[in-house]
Amino acid sequence: MTLAAEELHLTHGAVSRQIKTLEDHLGVQLFRRMTRRIELTDAGISFFSAVTRLLSELAREAEKVRRKNDTTRLVVSSGVSFANKWLTPRLHRLMARYPDFDVHLEVTDTQVDFAAGHVDVALRYGAGQYPFATAERIMTETVSPVCAPDYLDRMGGLRSPSELAKCQLIHEMGMNTTWERWFAMMELPYPRSRGPGYSHGSMSIEAAIRGEWLLGGVFWSQKTLRQAALCRYSRTQGWRSSGDTILFTRWAIKITRRFAHSEIG
């Protein structure tokens, strides 16, 4: 009661009277009143669930109506690791190209419900098969092992793929390409090496910087690898850094142009 009163800017007594009026109107008791606390009755629990659902629907509909008159806001949803290591450092290019747009970045690894109406475009790692959404590939994944230079030295240089079998491997959960598939591509038996597993790529990066192992992705630019002091393995070129790319920026500009035309035109 006290918290409700504070949020509504009412007195404790005013909230109590409003609840009593509601109970009289419904003809049921919504709360059990005890000495120092109250709790919902079964009817109160049911009513609370219904009211919460209806208020959420009302808020979503209000957001849809509001956004129909908002032709400048672009809400982009991205996974945590991709936003951290790739999208955020490049977002200024998009905003510089379209300074009148109000770009909002929503960072989450959960699936986006476009029907809710608050997200315009989402960036996700996967095969592109998403119900009720049009998917467009913005880059092809290239996965290769990376490690810290000092770890490379401690392991004697690791001059061939077979030598990776003696390393502690970091496993990034949710990736389509696993260590097992990488060793199979190298035509080597999978060593089943023990190692930690992480749900976010950014956590794997930090583990590699500390001197462990992981699988890297194409969205790690040369600048990212250089700043993190990580080396990437190539079967043909050995240990090296990777080149940068502007694929996302081109794609984002194209998507923004479509958004502008659909909203303004």
pLDDT at residue 57 greater than cutoff 80: yes
More confident residue, 205 or 42: 42
Q: Is the pTM of this model over 0.75?
A: no
pLDDT at residue 243 greater than cutoff 50: no
Say how far apart CA 122 and CA 141 lie, in whole Å: 17
Say how far apart CA 10 and CA 6 lie, in whole Å: 6
Average pLDDT over residues 195-212: 77
Q: Which residues contact 59 (CB under 8 A, 6 or more apart)?
A: none
More confident residue, 28 or 3: 28
Which long-range contacts link 42-45 to residues 24+ away (Cβ below 8 Å)? none
pLDDT at residue 260 greater than cutoff 70: no
Say how far apart CA 95 and CA 5 lie, in whole Å: 42
Give residue 71's pLDDT. Answer: 63
Average pLDDT over residues 218-245: 53
pLDDT at residue 38 greater than cutoff 80: yes
CA-based nearest residue to 144, from 244, 243, 239: 239
Average pLDDT over residues 144-153: 81
More confident residue, 71 or 243: 71
Give residue 99's pLDDT. Answer: 82
pLDDT at residue 261 greater than cutoff 60: no
CA-based nearest residue to 252, from 81, 84, 97: 97
What are the chain's domains?
2-68 (1.10.10.10), 73-139+246-264 (3.40.190.10), 144-240 (3.40.190.10)
- Considering 88-97, 110-119, 139-148, 239-248, the range whose residues carry the highest mean pLDDT is 88-97
3-state secondary structure of 85: helix
Q: pLDDT tens digits, residue range 86-134?
A: 788 888 887 888 787 788 888 888 888 777 767 888 888 777 787 777 7
